[in-house]
């Protein structure tokens, strides 16, 4: 016999604290009872008043405060889920105006984290398995309502564990995002400081030494014909010239002017030539891109990754040849560096002590891209940097 819709609220006495933990009150993540004064909200899809009473009686045996809402139509079911998601959904499988399968589909769409238990008179094994695959938490036959208490307790406990796990993951993700933001800011500050020091070293010390060189030229004219002073002045001039060259080299290593003035492609070309001259390792360079002076932070991130790659080749690879290619693929910029050295291993890539590789990976992530390391014993190592050109690298900007 079909009965009208009704809402039943019962409060039991001497209630212990609820088992479920607190979560955020949202449509997709409903909260569990947080204190002994809060009721366990249960939404029951059932059209039989007698079955509602039997189920309610069984639920009261759990020792919880129960707020049971009984409905039997799709419209009322959706309205209840949207109004205030319950902590638990119980549903008959077959109703005259509604059915449990549809209720499960709606629940998984609107409140996917709410436990859903079928409480039904008959349910074949194949149907039960199918419903569990579609997201049902459990099922209890009305002829065995004694199982309902344990099924509810287990469902709420599992739901609480999932919420705790999700909260832990969210907290970890927030910490990771904060650490990445801090790393990006520190990298920005570091580059700004390197630029400032390079400018001051080049301008202040360079100008002072150039002035001193001119003074020595003037002094040389005063000692015309005096061999001993002339030899000393010549030695001092040579030392000043060497110091000026060292200052230029240090300033360039701190912040290559070519990177700011001519762009990433020119800076990579310059660095490859410097690498070959300094190490004697042959470096083949292939640039297949027409650059339009990308933003400073983007170019800096790519250039520093390239620098670190060459440093690793010097320290670890025992290579005699390096091939560098810079090109565009779709909306991405790709930089590949391959050497013919011993080849990096998977263990080295994931080793906690590989700080340089981790720094490269983090720089690439800051630029919205990825860097991949691959190698084989005796066949060398390949480093592939892929970064999007279309996106704005907001995470690399200075935090005001």
Token pair belonging to 222: 């005063």
Alpha-carbon span 334 to 259, nearest angstrom = 18
pLDDT tens digits, one per residue of 210-229: 888 888 888 888 777 778 88
- pLDDT value at position 362? 87
- Tell me what the pLDDT averaged over the chain comes to: 81
Is 3.30.9.10 the CATH classification of the domain at 6-168?
no
- pLDDT value at position 32? 52
Helix and strand counts by DSSP (H, E) for the chain: 12, 11
- pLDDT value at position 98? 86
Of 185-194, 265-274, 292-301, which one has max mean pLDDT?
265-274
- pLDDT value at position 80? 92
- pLDDT value at position 173? 84
| DSSP, res 144 | G
pTM of this structure: 0.56
Beta bridge partners of 326: 287, 335
pLDDT band of residue 249 (cuts 50, 70, 90) is: confident
109: phi > 0 → left, psi -120 to 50 → alpha, else beta; which? alpha
- pLDDT value at position 289? 85
Nearest alpha-carbon partner for 285 in 296, 277, 300, 273: 273
Nearest alpha-carbon partner for 104 in 86, 92, 122, 120: 92
- pLDDT value at position 24? 38
Q: Check: CB of residue 324 under 8 Å from CB of residue 284.
A: yes
Rounded to 5°, angle at Cα 97 from 95 and 100: 45
Give exposure, 30-64, as e/b (b: 16+ Cβ within 10 Å).
bbbbeeeebbbbbbbbbbbeebbebbbebbbebeb
pLDDT at 167 over 90: no
pLDDT tens digits, one per residue of 52-93: 999 888 888 767 788 899 998 899 999 999 998 999 999 998
- pLDDT value at position 229? 83
pLDDT tens digits, one per residue of 122-154: 778 888 888 989 989 998 898 888 888 888 888
CATH number belonging to the domain at 257-400, selected among 3.30.565.10, 3.50.50.60, 1.20.1560.10, 3.40.1710.10: 3.30.565.10
DSSP-based three-state secondary structure for 29:
coil
397: phi > 0 → left, psi -120 to 50 → alpha, else beta; which? beta
Give exposure, 317-342, as e/b (b: 16+ Cβ within 10 Å).
bebeebbbbbeeeeebbbbbbbbbbb
User: Where is 254: in which H helix or E strand?
Assistant: helix 227-254
Q: Check: CB of residue 70 under 8 Å from CB of residue 95.
A: no
pLDDT band of residue 259 (cuts 50, 70, 90) is: confident
Question: Any idea where the domains of the chain sit in the sequence?
Answer: 6-168, 257-400
Q: Give the residue with greater pLDDT, 269 vs 29.
A: 269
pLDDT tens digits, one per residue of 18-35: 333 333 334 445 555 545
- pLDDT value at position 10? 36
Evaluate the CA torsion angle 39, 40, 45, 51 in order and state its sign: negative
Percent of the chain beyond pLDDT 90? 30
Nearest alpha-carbon partner for 90 in 133, 143, 51, 38: 51
What does the pLDDT average to over 288-305? 85
Q: Give the residue with greater pLDDT, 13 vs 116.
A: 116
DSSP per residue, 310-345: HHHIIIII--SEEEEEEEEETTEEEEEEEE-SS---
- pLDDT value at position 222? 79
């Amino acid at each position: 016999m079909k009965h009208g819709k009704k809402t039943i609220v019962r409060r039991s006495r001497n209630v212990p604290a609820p088992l479920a933990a607190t979560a955020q009150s949202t449509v997709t993540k409903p909260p569990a009872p947080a204190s002994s004064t809060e009721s366990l909200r249960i939404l029951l899809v059932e059209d039989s008043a007698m079955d509602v009473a039997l189920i309610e009686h069984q639920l009261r045996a759990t020792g919880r405060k129960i707020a049971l809402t009984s409905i039997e139509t799709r419209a009322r079911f959706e309205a209840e889920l949207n109004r205030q998601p319950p902590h638990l959904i119980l549903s008959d499988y077959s109703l005259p105006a509604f059915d449990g399968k549809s209720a499960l589909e709606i629940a998984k769409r609107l409140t996917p984290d709410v436990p859903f238990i079928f409480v039904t008179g008959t349910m074949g094994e194949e149907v039960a398995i199918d419903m569990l695959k579609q997201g049902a938490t459990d099922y209890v036959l009305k002829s065995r309502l004694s199982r309902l208490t344990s099924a509810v307790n287990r469902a709420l406990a599992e739901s609480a564990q999932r919420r705790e796990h999700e909260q832990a993951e969210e907290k970890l993700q927030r910490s990771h995002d904060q650490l990445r933001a801090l790393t990006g800011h520190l990298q920005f500050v570091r580059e700004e400081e390197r630029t400032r020091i390079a400018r001051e070293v080049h301008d202040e010390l360079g100008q002072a030494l150039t002035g001193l060189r001119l003074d020595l030229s003037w002094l040389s004219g005063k000692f015309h014909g005096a061999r001993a002073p002339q030899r000393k002045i010549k030695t001092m001039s040579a030392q000043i010239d060497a110091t000026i060259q060292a200052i230029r080299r240090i300033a360039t290593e701190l912040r290559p002017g070519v990177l700011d003035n001519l762009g990433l492609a020119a800076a990579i070309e310059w660095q490859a030539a410097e690498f070959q001259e300094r190490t004697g390792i042959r470096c083949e360079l292939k640039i297949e891109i027409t650059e339009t002076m990308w933003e400073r932070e983007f170019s800096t991130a790519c250039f520093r990754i390239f620098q670190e790659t060459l440093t690793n080749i010097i320290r670890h690879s025992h290579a005699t040849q390096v091939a560098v290619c810079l090109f565009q693929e779709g909306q991405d910029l790709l930089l590949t560096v391959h050497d013919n050295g011993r080849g990096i291993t998977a263990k080295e890539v994931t080793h906690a002590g590989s700080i340089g590789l981790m720094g490269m990976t983090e720089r690439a992530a800051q630029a919205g891209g990825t860097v991949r390391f691959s190698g084989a014993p005796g066949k060398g190592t390949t480093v592939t940097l892929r970064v999007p050109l279309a996106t704005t690298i907001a995470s690399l900007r200075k935090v005001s």
